[in-house]
Amino acid sequence: MHSPLLWLLPVLPLLGFLVNGILSLSTARTSHGPSRGLSGFVAVLFPALSFGLSLWLFQRLSHDAASIHETNVNLGLHLSEVVRYVQPLWSWFSVGDANVGFGFAYDALTGIMLLFITGIGTLIHLYSLGYMAHDRGHARFLAYLSLFLANMIVLVLGDGPLVTFLGWEGVGLCSYLLIGFWHEDLANGAAARKAFLVNRVGDLGFLLGLFFLWQILGPTVPFTYQGISEWFRDPAHLAMVGQGSVAALLTASTLLLFLGCTGKSAQIPLLTWLPDAMAGPTPVSALIHAATMVTSGVFLLGRMSDVFVAAPFTMHVIAVIGAATALWAAVTGFVQTDIKKVLAYSTVSQLGYMFLAVGVGAFDAGLFHVFTHAFFKAVLFLGAGSVIHALGGEQDMRRMGGLARKLPLTFAAMFAGWYAITGLPGGAGFWSKDLILEKTWMHGGWALYVVAIFTAVLTAVYMTRLMILVFWSPSRVDPEVEHHVHESPWSMALPLVILGLGSLGAGFAWASLVPGVDWFARTLAPVVGPAQDLLAGPEAHHPPVALLLALGLMAAFGGIVLSFVLFRSGSYRETESGELPFLSRFWTLLFDHLHAVVAVWPVLVVSWILDKVLNPLLFGLVRLVGYLVEVFGWLFRALQFSRLRLNMGLSASGALLVLLGYILVKELLK
């Protein structure tokens, strides 16, 4: 179906970006920048409009889907037809075999992503009004944030991989700009650059993966998600890609695409940038590095589920990498002292869960976790931001404690987030994480399940530790700072409340224990259903749901209890230097070291050699030629007399000799 309104979705925040950008630029000279009211109003208005539009679209989509479903049931058909609104805009480029259109497409997956992207996006714009109120560059900040939103919308709304790539790089750019927002500190700039660079490595994988995919599809298939899906859903094609060189091509393609996902979603091996990215302002961490951008890898896998299920090896790799990342990051989160770092590693770990789910073929479970995670991780970050804000920029948990009474609202919101992420009954994480554990049990084998459940325990441990250190333990706050602790303004509180409620309630979108509530799965079914069915086959046996549930709950409760035992009694041992112990540090920076050895040092060494050896060598060569010419010059100058007549006479004699020689030779040859 054609829908003429899709283009408005990204353009609205883009307008917000332009207005705020121009405001910021035009008032750069003035002493306090543009009016906060104006820029704030603009910044919230446009994302909100976008949110409203996506709500309306989603409502329409559900309506259309329901009516089509009804028709199909009436006709006795058993089809899950994709309802898709498309808006092809123009031909991007069309050269040789490369025909790429620029357009948007909207289906259930996009709809769900857009709902929470624009929704949480709007809330975080609102939150930023309060958080950045005292910053000189708040209009610039809001402009970047709006630009990010526009790009993120393009990412999920694109009708083909290349339009997605446009948004994909765009969000990377905004992430760069926002991480390095306080650019006077060079460390922030370095973190921003690292994020962009590491992402670029993934993006190269993405591009190459697309090339391979294109190779498989051939030039006649339109290079849109629709075209790709339909091609791969054709059983004849599936048989073809299952074997021989095409299978190898497909494996290469999917692995490279997955590399792109690991870059964006901070999975092994490209995960080092996300913890560093915490250098950015906290709203950024909440929106970009927790709720939206980092989940775009999972989104892409869901988008191309039909492609990925055709490459079983890649699916295994995804599952293993997801599990490994989840475990590694959970362990890392366990030893951090910076509140935002804990949350960052927690994000990495949760993303690992999502990839694990996708890897075992449960695309809808993975995406559901994306959905719930967006709520509870956003609220955790915003809560952390609120704490940091209240403490005047303090991020070290060793200098917090006892804040539950001082910041009741923040505490309540973070409690909701904590409740959700540890997987306590009824919270958002309870539903989605259990779903993933269940699917892992069913399709992933016991080893992955053990890793996953162990990670769940660890998650409960480190999150509880965070809550203890910040809220429940006796106060270790600097008395001078403690004096000024205050609850945040309403613009920050409102998002906290909404998101806190969301993290408690979002799970009910697919409460698989409650019969009949499977809204989420039903909505997504047309998009990822065929792929899942292909991999899982008809569900012959039912999992031991009760046992799995019990195990999951035990993990959560066990972790919490363990954490109380470990940290409540002994409080926190402070090391003198304030640094992490060596082993923890090594573990935390494991992949940074790997990157250094594998990529950074070799590049530096080669470029040093080229610059210091090759270039001088070439220069030397040029000089050598120059010297040779000069030497010849000296030689010939030495032949000259300083008498004009002699010189002329000599040249005349020379001419004479040549003439004579010529004649002689002529004579002799005759």
Tokens 């590095």 map to which residue? Answer: 289
Would you say 135 or 518 has its CB closer to other proteins?
Answer: 135
Minimum CB separation from other proteins for residue 651, in Å? 10
Q: Does residue 614 touch other proteins according to CB under 8 A?
A: yes
Member of 546, 644, 668, 669 binding other proteins (CB under 8 A): 644
Q: Which stretch binds other proteins (CB under 8 A): 59-67, 286-294, 474-482, 609-617?
A: 609-617
Q: Which of 520, 494, 516, 524 is nearest to 505 (CA)?
A: 520
Q: How many CA atoms lie within 13 A of 612 on its CB side?
A: 6
| Nearest distance from C-beta of residue 219 to other proteins, angstroms | 10
Q: How far is the C-alpha of 414 from the C-alpha of 408, rounded, in Å?
A: 10
Binding-site size for other proteins (CB under 8 A) equals 66
Stretch that binds other proteins, among 294-302, 519-527, 569-577, 617-625 (CB under 8 A): 617-625
Minimum CB–partner distance for residue 245 and other proteins (Å) = 13
Which of the stretches 474-482, 487-495, 529-537, 655-663 binds other proteins when contact is defined by CB under 8 A?
655-663
* Conformation bin of residue 537: beta by default, left when phi > 0, alpha when psi is -120 to 50: left
To other proteins, the closest distance from the beta carbon of 348 in angstroms equals 22
The yes or no reply on residue 166 touching other proteins (CB under 8 A) is yes
Contacting residue, 2, 4, 74, 90, with other proteins by CB under 8 A: 90
Q: Which residues are CB-neighbours of 487 under 8 A, at least 6 positions away?
A: 390, 406, 407, 408, 409, 410, 493
Residues within window 92-121 making contact with other proteins, judged by CB under 8 A: 92-98, 102
Nearest to 522 by CA among 537, 535, 512: 512
Total residues belonging to the chain:
670
Q: How far is the CB of 649 from other proteins (least distance, A)?
A: 5
Are the beta carbons of 367 and 523 closer than 8 angstroms? Answer: no
Q: Which is nearer to other proteins, 96 or 235 (CB)?
A: 96
Give the C-alpha separation, 323 to 317, whole Å. 10
Decide: is 554 part of the binding site for other proteins (CB under 8 A): no
Quickly count: other Cβ atoms within 10 Å of residue 534's Cβ. 17
Q: Which stretch binds other proteins (CB under 8 A): 329-337, 500-508, 540-548, 634-642?
A: 634-642
Q: How far is the CB of 652 from other proteins (least distance, A)?
A: 5
Are 592 and 496 in contact, with CB atoms under 8 Å apart? no
Letters for 7-26 (x = contact with other proteins by CB under 8 A, - = none) are: -----------------xx-
**Partners of 105 in beta bridges:** 86
Distance between CA atoms of residues 499 and 119, nearest Å: 10
Enumerate residues 355-414 that contact other proteins by CB under 8 A. Answer: none
CB of 511 to other proteins, least distance (A): 40
Q: Does 613 bind other proteins (CB under 8 A)?
A: no
Chain position carrying tokens 């560093």: 276
Phi and psi dihedrals of 98, rounded to 5? -90, 105
Q: Work out whether 480 is an interface residue with other proteins (CB under 8 A).
A: no
Q: Return the residues of window 252-271 that contact other proteins according to CB under 8 A.
A: none
608 binds other proteins (CB under 8 A): yes
Q: Does 663 bind other proteins (CB under 8 A)?
A: yes
Which SS3 state, helix, strand or coil, does residue 231 take?
helix
Least distance in angstroms from the C-beta of 92 to other proteins: 7
For residue 576, the minimal CB distance to other proteins (Å) is 31
Under the binding rule (CB under 8 A), the answer on residue 642 touching other proteins is yes
* Residue written as token pair 């992207």: 117
Rg for the chain, CA atoms, rounded: 32
Query: Helical H runs in 134-160?
Result: 138-157
Kindly state the smallest distance separating residue 118's Cβ from other proteins, in Å.
21
Give CA–CA dist 477/406, Å, rounded. 12
81, 226 contact by CB (below 8 A): no
Q: How far is the CB of 262 from other proteins (least distance, A)?
A: 15
How many C-beta neighbours within 10 Å does residue 541 have?
A: 6
Please, which residues bridge with residue 93 across strands?
100
Q: How far is residue 115's CA from residue 117's CA, in Å, rounded to a whole number?
A: 6
Residue closer to other proteins by CB (options 89, 450) is: 89
Instruction: Compute the distance between CA of residue 192 and CA of residue 177 in angstroms, rounded to an integer.
Output: 7
**DSSP-assigned letters across all residues of 577-621:** SSSPPHHHHHHHTHHHHHHIIIIIHHHHHHHHHIIIIIHHHHHHH
Give the one residue of 38, 73, 79, 183 binding other proteins; rule: CB under 8 A. 183
92 vs 454, which CB is nearer to other proteins? 92
Contact flag: residue 604 with other proteins (CB under 8 A): yes
Smallest distance, other proteins to C-beta of residue 193, A:
5
Q: Which residues in the 211-250 window bind other proteins by CB under 8 A?
A: 211, 214-215
Q: Does 628 bind other proteins (CB under 8 A)?
A: no
What SS3 string covers 549-561? HHHHHHHHHHHHH
User: Shortest Cβ distance from residue 169 to other proteins (Å)?
Assistant: 5
Please give the helix or strand (H or E) that residue 42 lies within, else none. helix 36-74
Query: Contact 559/457 with Cβ under 8 angstroms?
Result: yes
Q: Per CB under 8 A, which region of 112-120, 172-180, 372-380, 489-497 contacts other proteins?
A: 172-180
Enter the DSSP assignment of 640.
Answer: -
Two structure tokens written together for 611? 């610059």
In angstroms, what is the minimal distance from the CB of 261 to other proteins? Answer: 17
Contact segment (CB under 8 A) with other proteins among 164-172, 319-327, 517-525, 556-564 equals 164-172
Residues 45-84 as x/- pattern, contact with other proteins by CB under 8 A: ----------------------------------------
**Interface positions with other proteins (CB under 8 A):** 24-25, 28-29, 90-98, 102, 162, 165-166, 168-170, 173, 176, 180, 183-184, 186, 189, 193, 196-197, 200-201, 204, 207-208, 211, 214-215, 603-604, 606-608, 610-612, 614-615, 618-619, 622, 637, 640, 642-646, 648-649, 652-653, 656, 659-660, 663
